[in-house]
């Protein structure tokens, strides 16, 4: 497959009809859905659909699939009985004996559903609502509800964060943790891609089968800018595409009953800083939120460096919000199970829902989309003396910009045109940041394949 040119890659045309959330629509709704998909968002729909149709791809270059299948197209068509999706020159890997794989079809329907909902329900006329914190949270809730992933049931959803580019030992460990979580009846939510996003799901599938768990949930939450670089792994059975990284992160923490962090790169660091920045706020001081950093024994130095960076930038208080467990998958699962029980008790006492954490206060600075331009990256205020939450917000933006430069098409284009982003700040903080980023590069956590060329320059 790798040595085959785009002109000889097998492709197939198909006509498919959605099941579930897209099959009961009024004619007006179908018309609006069709108009949205054929308008300005068509290229976005095409890119996201191609990522799903190449599910399981080992490449993290967002342009790779498009280059391999340059003639692929997707059309959403209205019919009297509802909706039809037409695929032209679709990757043959998504089909078996001429029929699209059912799981791939379900993820494809999710792409159409979420992009259309965003275009219709979060269009320009709603811009004013998206300038307030409650308005953004309502939008996140609305998209998750429309995707049918909010289930009124006992808390059991563990969000797993970690890198798409990790070592074999680290990957096997993520599977073992997923297995231990699955044995305890816990479901898994990740960023939907490979590596530490796939491992926990894969481990949990075996445990769920052993426990004869009938309803298994492997939720993948992504966003349009990153799905092409981290296409959904084959185990994801519920996919949600949020409009941007900030709403994706809010969806994770609103849905999670606990979070486990495996080794990763800049994306994982961004997630850590986002969550800690929120948990360090005074109004969230008493909100139970189990957070565990874990990896195999070989990953101990990685978490030591992450821990040092957090202590230097956010202070010692930040360390009280997480635990570090090395090389003990069963202990991680036991601690997470106990933590989720505390979450359950607190939600009952506070009369808060189990399926969406309304009680967590997320300020606007963590919710507003950050466009990582060269000017915006250089303007980040990375100096001591600021409230830890505010500093965490800007540090999160710095890592978000590097993620964009590494794997998002818009960010990569900016780097190609204008050179690396510059990140300015206090000397000791920049020294620590530079050391952390250099370690990510040396440990090959930035990209799956090829020689990594930094998209950033740290300036003291």
For 64, counting Cβ atoms within 10 Å of its Cβ (0-12 exposed, 13-18 middle, 19+ buried), the class is middle
Number of neighbouring beta carbons within 10 Å of residue 304:
12
Residue 352: predicted pLDDT: 93
> Which pTM value belongs to this model?
0.93
CA–CA separation, 308 and 162 (whole Å):
18
CA–CA separation, 104 and 228 (whole Å):
15
CATH architecture, domain defined by 149-350: 3-Layer(aba) Sandwich (3.40)
Would you mind telling me the total number of residues written for the chain in this entry?
Answer: 460
CA–CA separation, 137 and 161 (whole Å):
21
Our measurement of the distance from residue 125's CA atom to the centroid of its chain's CA atoms, rounded to an integer in Å, reads 27
CA–CA separation, 118 and 133 (whole Å):
18
The angle subtended at Cα 140 by Cα 369 and Cα 127, nearest 5°, is 55
For 430, counting Cβ atoms within 10 Å of its Cβ (0-12 exposed, 13-18 middle, 19+ buried), the class is middle
Q: What is the pLDDT along the chain (460 residues), one digit of tens a residue?
A: 344 444 468 999 999 887 665 655 666 666 666 676 666 678 888 889 999 998 866 667 777 888 889 999 998 877 766 678 899 999 999 999 999 999 999 999 899 889 888 888 887 777 888 999 999 999 999 999 999 999 999 999 999 999 998 999 999 999 999 999 999 999 999 999 999 999 999 999 999 999 999 999 999 999 998 887 888 999 999 999 999 999 999 999 999 999 999 999 999 999 999 999 999 999 999 999 999 999 999 999 999 999 999 999 999 999 999 999 999 999 999 999 999 999 999 999 999 999 999 999 999 999 999 999 999 999 999 999 999 999 999 999 999 999 999 989 889 999 999 999 999 999 999 999 999 999 999 998 987 767 889 999 999 8
CA–CA separation, 219 and 239 (whole Å):
6
Buried-exposed string 199-234: b where 16+ CB fall within 10 A, e elsewhere: bbbbbbbebbeeeebeebbbbbbbbbbbbbbbbbbb
Our measurement of the distance from residue 428's CA atom to the centroid of its chain's CA atoms, rounded to an integer in Å, reads 30
Number of neighbouring beta carbons within 10 Å of residue 330:
14
Residue spans per domain, the chain? 6-120, 149-350, 364-459
Contact 105, 74 (CB under 8 A): no
Contact 292, 325 (CB under 8 A): yes
Contact 263, 445 (CB under 8 A): yes
CB proximity list for 205: less than 8 A, separation 6 or greater = 182, 216, 218, 235
**What is the SS3 assignment for the chain?**
CCCCCHHHCCEEEEEECCCHHHCCCCHHHHHHHHHHHHCCCHHHHHHHHHHHHCCCCCCCCCCHHHHHCCCCEEEEEEECCEEEEEEEEEEHHHEECCEECHHHHHHHHHHHHHHHHHHHHCCHHHCCHHHCHHHHHHHHHHHHHHCCCCCCCCCCEEEEECCCCCCHHHHHHHHHHHHHHHHCCCEEEECCCCHHHCHHHHHHHHHHHHCCCCCCCEEEEECHHHHCCCCCCCCCCEEEECCCHHHHHHHHHHHCCEEEECCCCHHHHHHHHHHHHHHCCHHHCCCCCCEEEEECHHHHHHHHHHHHHHHHHHCHHHHHHCEEEECCHHHHHHHHHHHHHHHHHHHHHHCCCCCCCCCCCCCHHHCCCCCCCHHHHHCCCCCCCCCHHHHHHHHHHHHHHHHHHHHCHHHHHHHHHHCCEEEECCHHHHHHHHHHHHHHHHCCCCCCCCCCCCCEEEEC
> Does the domain made of 6-120 have the CATH classification 3.30.1850.10?
yes
Residue 23: predicted pLDDT: 59
Question: What strand order describes the sheet that includes 11-16?
Answer: 11-16, 82-91, 73-79
């Amino acid at each position: 497959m790798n040595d085959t040119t785009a002109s000889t890659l097998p492709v197939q045309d198909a006509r498919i009809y959605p099941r579930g959330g897209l099959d009961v629509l009024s004619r007006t709704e179908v018309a609006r859905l069709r108009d949205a998909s054929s308008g300005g968002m068509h290229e976005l729909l095409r890119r996201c659909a191609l990522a799903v149709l190449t599910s399981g791809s080992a490449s993290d270059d967002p342009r790779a699939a498009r280059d391999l299948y340059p003639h692929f197209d997707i059309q959403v068509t209205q019919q009297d009985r509802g909706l039809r999706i037409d695929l032209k020159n679709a990757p043959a890997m998504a089909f078996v004996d001429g029929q699209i794989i059912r799981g791939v079809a379900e993820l494809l329907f999710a792409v159409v559903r979420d992009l259309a909902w965003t275009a219709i329900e979060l269009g320009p006329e709603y811009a004013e609502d998206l300038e307030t914190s409650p308005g953004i949270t309502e939008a996140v809730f609305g998209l998750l509800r429309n995707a049918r992933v909010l289930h009124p049931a006992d808390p059991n959803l563990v969000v797993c964060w970690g890198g798409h580019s990790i070592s074999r030992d680290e990957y096997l460990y993520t599977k073992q943790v997923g297995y231990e979580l699955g044995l305890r009846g816990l479901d898994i939510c990740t960023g939907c891609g490979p590596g530490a996003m796939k491992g926990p799901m894969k481990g949990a599938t075996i445990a769920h089968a052993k426990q004869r768990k009938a309803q298994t949930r492997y939720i993948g939450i992504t966003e349009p800018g990153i799905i092409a670089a981290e296409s959904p792994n084959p185990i994801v059975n519920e996919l949600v595409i949020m409009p941007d990284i900030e709403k994706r992160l809010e969806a994770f923490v609103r849905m999670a009953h606990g979070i486990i962090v495996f080794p990763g790169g800049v994306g994982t660091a961004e997630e850590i800083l986002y969550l800690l920045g929120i948990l360090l706020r005074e109004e969230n001081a008493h909100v139970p939120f189990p957070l565990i950093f874990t990896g195999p024994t070989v990953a101990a130095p990685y978490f030591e460096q992450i821990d040092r960076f957090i202590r230097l930038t956010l202070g010692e208080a930040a360390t009280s919000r997480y635990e570090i467990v090395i090389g003990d998958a069963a202990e991680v699962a036991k601690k997470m199970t106990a933590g989720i029980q505390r979450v359950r008790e607190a939600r009952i006492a506070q009369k808060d829902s189990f399926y969406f954490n309304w009680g967590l206060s997320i300020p606007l600075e963590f919710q507003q989309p950050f466009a990582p331009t060269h000017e915006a990256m250089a303007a980040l205020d990375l100096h001591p003396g600021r409230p830890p939450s505010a500093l965490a917000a800007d540090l999160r933006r710095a890592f978000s910009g590097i993620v964009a430069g590494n794997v998002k098409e818009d960010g990569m284009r900016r780097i190609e045109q204008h050179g690396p982003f510059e990140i300015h700040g206090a000397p000791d903080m920049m020294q620590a940041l530079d050391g952390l980023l250099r370690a990510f590069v040396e440990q090959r956590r930035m990209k799956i394949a090829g020689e990594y060329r930094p998209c950033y320059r740290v300036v003291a």
